């Protein structure tokens, strides 16, 4: 594997939005068109794609696409590892041991509140709690979300915590 600069490794490569146009993965040139806006990608993005093509000595689109996938997976793994380390340090919980975020957040809440829960022996209490449990997907539906948290170095006390 080639050794590349931090910039090359942390900026995700551009990839055409419609891969079906590349049914023949042996295309030996770059071509990008944003069909939604009916325009080409920005000059900076195209220059970055050309630089990646040259540095990695890419011969065809299949190699470029494989590099894109590898970079994407490695960046996501890096983000998840940093999140796991931060959450372990701050809460003592490992996010990879949870299927859903809501279960992890509940455990974090119980742990931070230091309240001792008693065993429920009353069936009515149990049913109330069981019926109150929401089993839905927890997700951020925005492309970009910014947090203002006490635990981060860029925390701004004048703004609302999030």
Q: Give the pLDDT score at 8.
A: 58
CB 34 within 8 A of CB 40: yes
What is Dmax (Cα atoms) for the chain?
A: 70
Q: Give the pLDDT score at 39.
A: 66
Q: Give the pLDDT score at 9.
A: 57
The reply to whether the predicted model has a pTM over 0.85 is no
Mean pLDDT by 10 residues, the chain (162 residues): 54 61 58 61 79 85 83 88 93 90 86 85 89 69 76 83 77
Q: Give the pLDDT score at 144.
A: 73
CB 19 within 8 A of CB 64: no
Q: Give the pLDDT score at 115.
A: 82
Gap between the Cα atoms of 98 and 80, Å rounded: 13
Q: Quote the Cα angle for 113-135-83, to 5°.
A: 55
Q: Give the pLDDT score at 161.
A: 80
Please, which contacts does 30-35 make with residues 24 or more away whose CB atoms are closer than 8 Å? 30/64
Q: Give the pLDDT score at 50.
A: 83
């Amino acid at each position: 594997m080639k050794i590349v600069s931090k910039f090359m490794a942390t900026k995700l490569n551009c990839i055409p939005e419609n891969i079906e146009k590349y049914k023949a993965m042996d295309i030996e040139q770059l071509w990008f068109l944003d069909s939604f806006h009916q325009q080409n990608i920005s000059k900076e993005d195209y220059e970055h794609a050309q630089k990646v093509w040259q540095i990695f000595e890419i011969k065809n689109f299949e190699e470029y696409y494989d590099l894109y996938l590898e970079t994407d997976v490695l960046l996501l793994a890096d983000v998840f590892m940093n999140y796991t380390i931060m959450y372990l340090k701050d809460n003592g919980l490992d996010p990879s041991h949870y299927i859903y975020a809501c279960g992890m957040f509940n455990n974090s809440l119980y742990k931070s509140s230091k309240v001792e829960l008693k065993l429920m022996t009353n069936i009515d209490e149990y049913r109330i709690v069981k019926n109150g449990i929401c089993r839905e997907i927890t997700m951020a539906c925005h492309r970009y979300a910014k947090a203002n948290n006490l635990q981060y170095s860029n925390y701004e006390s004048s703004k609302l915590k999030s």
